[in-house]
């Protein structure tokens, strides 16, 4: 099978490797689509993400779906959960498997990801999809799960006002989930005009660039009322974005920090956050959200398909990474078995 391995920042090489053989409790999957996440782009541009550093040539990717070959799910298109928690630690037993300290995660450390033609994976981490779903749809269910987890942690109440700062794929999905969860006004903020336009297509009441929100009147135009939101979701990973979230939050609001900063540090205006009594919550991947994510897509409440703005075959995976890093579109997908 053909495999893409990342050797260093910007150094992605295609190789031929033996086909994998599933072990006990595993299934073999012909990979249909691999979405490029912001964290994958950190690996591509920096050779690291947070405090984790690339130490060996790794097969990247973690947003993926494919068709099962053999076994109980033979022939089924599945979405694949990229996290394999240990199942026995305190966090797992408490129902917080996304916080498992021994979790194995696709495309990270010693566990190769799905940017290859075939992969074996635990069958119980696979979710068969209804008719009508595509491989790319399956891949986008993972970032949808992260967005859904962020909204869960926000304790969103019906008729809330929500601001999403950072309108990449997870931000745009969070915007849709917030609307589906009963928020009556959802707005988006991003410096890139095509992302702000996408937010409007997905139902945002308004969208703006951060530079347009320097005054109280501009924030009131965006959010209505006093220019403050009940919930703010940050997916940009920059200090400026977090500072804007603090500014946009009303007193007593919750601010969800889902972005990953380049230098593994986040700073924010502590005085303003303290005076407002804000709750700042860190978002760690997702919990067991796949069934709900599938239901949201099946019922037409969240659109994942139009988020995919570019697809590449495996032999053009390096170009896919470069396109994703340029941020010219929305979601970039690699299709390992595309001719």
Q: Are 331 and 307 in contact (CB under 8 A)?
A: yes
141 in a structural domain = no
Tens of pLDDT, residue by residue, the chain (339 residues)? 999 999 999 999 999 999 999 999 999 999 999 999 988 988 899 888 877 888 899 999 999 999 999 999 999 999 999 999 999 999 999 999 999 999 999 998 889 999 999 999 999 999 999 999 999 999 999 999 999 999 999 999 999 999 999 999 999 999 999 999 999 999 999 999 999 999 999 999 999 999 999 999 999 999 999 999 999 999 999 999 999 999 999 999 999 999 999 888 999 999 999 999 999 999 999 999 999 999 999 999 999 999 999 999 999 999 999 999 999 999 999 999 987
pLDDT computed for residue 184 by the predictor? 95
Looking at the structure, tell me whether residues 194 and 116 fall in a common domain. Answer: no
pLDDT computed for residue 262 by the predictor? 83
CATH number at 328 reads: 3.90.180.10
Looking at the structure, tell me whether residues 151 and 273 fall in a common domain. Answer: yes
Looking at the structure, tell me whether residues 86 and 214 fall in a common domain. Answer: no
pLDDT computed for residue 247 by the predictor? 97
136 in a structural domain = no
- Enter the tokens of residue 34: 């691999």
Number of domains in the chain: 2
Q: Where are the beta strands (DSSP E) in the chain?
A: 2-8, 11-16, 26-35, 48-49, 52-53, 63-69, 77-80, 83-84, 104-105, 118-122, 126-128, 161-165, 185-189, 206-208, 229-234, 249-257, 279-282, 308-313, 331-335
pLDDT computed for residue 48 by the predictor? 86
CATH number at 165 reads: 3.40.50.720
Residue (of 116, 106, 110, 109) closest to 14 by Cα position = 116
- Enter the tokens of residue 32: 């249909």
Looking at the structure, tell me whether residues 84 and 164 fall in a common domain. Answer: no
Looking at the structure, tell me whether residues 198 and 82 fall in a common domain. Answer: no
pLDDT computed for residue 53 by the predictor? 87
Looking at the structure, tell me whether residues 151 and 278 fall in a common domain. Answer: yes
pLDDT computed for residue 295 by the predictor? 98
| Residue ranges making up the domain that contains 189 | 146-282
97 in a structural domain = yes
140 in a structural domain = no
Looking at the structure, tell me whether residues 103 and 179 fall in a common domain. Answer: no
Looking at the structure, tell me whether residues 101 and 47 fall in a common domain. Answer: yes
């Amino acid at each position: 099978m053909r495999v893409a391995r990342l050797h260093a920042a910007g150094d992605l090489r295609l190789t031929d490797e033996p086909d994998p053989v599933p072990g006990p409790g595993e299934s073999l999957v012909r990979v249909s689509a691999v979405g490029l996440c912001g964290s994958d782009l950190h690996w591509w541009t920096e050779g690291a993400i947070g405090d984790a550093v690339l130490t060996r040539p790794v097969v990247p990717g973690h947003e993926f779906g494919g068709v099962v070959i053999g076994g109980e799910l033979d022939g089924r298109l599945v979405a694949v959960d990229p996290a394999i928690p240990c199942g026995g630690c305190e966090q797992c037993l408490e129902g917080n498997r996304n916080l498992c300290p021994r979790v194995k995660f696709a495309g990270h450390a010693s566990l190769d990801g799905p940017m290859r033609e075939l992969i074996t994976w635990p069958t119980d981490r696979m979710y068969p999809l209804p008719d009508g779903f595509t491989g790319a749809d399956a891949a986008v269910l993972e970032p949808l799960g992260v967005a859904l987890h962020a909204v869960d942690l926000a304790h969103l109440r019906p008729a809330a006002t929500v601001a999403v700062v950072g309108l990449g794929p997870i931000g745009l999905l969070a915007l849709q989930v917030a609307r589906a969860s009963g928020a009556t006004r959802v707005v988006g903020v991003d410096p890139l005009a095509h992302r702000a336009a996408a937010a409007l297509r997905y139902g945002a009441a308004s969208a703006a660039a951060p530079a347009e929100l320097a005054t109280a009147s501009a924030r009131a135009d965006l959010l209505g009322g006093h220019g403050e939101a009940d919930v703010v979701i940050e997916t940009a990973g920059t200090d400026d974005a977090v500072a804007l979230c603090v500014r946009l939050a009303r007193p007593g609001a919750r601010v969800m920090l889902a972005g990953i900063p380049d230098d593994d540090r986040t700073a924010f205006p502590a005085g303003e956050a303290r005076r407002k009594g804000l709750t700042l919550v860190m978002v760690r991947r997702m919990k067991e959200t796949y069934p709900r994510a599938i239901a949201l897509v099946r019922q037409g409440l969240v659109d994942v398909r139009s988020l995919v703005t570019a697809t590449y075959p495996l032999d053009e995976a390096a170009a896919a990474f470069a396109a994703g890093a340029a941020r010219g579109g929305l979601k970039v997908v690699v299709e390992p078995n595309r001719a």
